[in-house]
Amino acid sequence: MLNALVAFLAVSVGVVMADEVVNTQYSHSSEFCLSGVSLVESVYRGQAALEIKMPTSSYQDEAKERLLDRDFMAWLPVDFKDGSIEVDVASDLASDAPAYARGFIGVSFRIDSQARFESIYLRPTNSQADDQIRRNHSVQYAGFPDFRFDQLRKESPEKYETYADIELGRWIHMKLVVKGSKASLYLDHKEKPAFIVNDLKFGAEQRGGVGIWIESGTVAHFKDLQITPGDEL
């Protein structure tokens, strides 16, 4: 799905170079490329926002397939390598959300011409669960398509996910700082990171687009997406 769109854009329009995204904010649906999702300008909790969701037909069926991270997102064809990505996100469960839905919402980054990307995303319902194991799975790192959450959880338990105090139905500020093979996630304007990945799977030279990522059963909103290259930090 994403492969064909990335290839088309790379050939026909190229990418926006890093020196063109200095402290740039993105707030219009027309600025984004879409991979399996719809994106419309909306209002959420009284604030202008972009609404992103996927069709019911794209929900995964856990009775027939493994639940895996996929490439459903709205993304910008920028050339991001190092720097920061800031955005306010909020997610709710769709009325027809499957039982495994968690309000999945996050940031994908360094989306390359081979449709590989890194992502750090949230599972807001897990944060409020009574089950401590689920609570420990509130924040997740994955590298699509080679390092999905289930593989990382099996090979390195606890290393690529953690707990955070988040929930459905409210704005959550995400600030992702990326440098080389390290990414740090700051939540709700806190001074200390909530989550750190020291070994991004595609390496320090990976670069490419930035997107807002969702999974099955999520109706999400986001606003104030800002990208700052590393030399501007």
Domains and CATH numbers, the chain: 2-55+68-232 (2.60.120.560)
Q: What is the pTM assigned to this prediction? A: 0.91
For the chain, 233 residues long, the average pLDDT of each consecutive 10-residue run is 55 40 78 98 97 98 95 97 98 98 98 97 98 98 98 97 98 98 98 98 98 98 96 59
Distance, CA of 160 to CA of 166 (rounded, Å): 17
Given this model, what pLDDT does residue 10 score? 45
Given this model, what pLDDT does residue 3 score? 64
In angstroms, what CA-CA distances link 201 with 119, 141, 210, 226? 10, 10, 17, 24
Given this model, what pLDDT does residue 27 score? 84
Distance, CA of 53 to CA of 69 (rounded, Å): 15
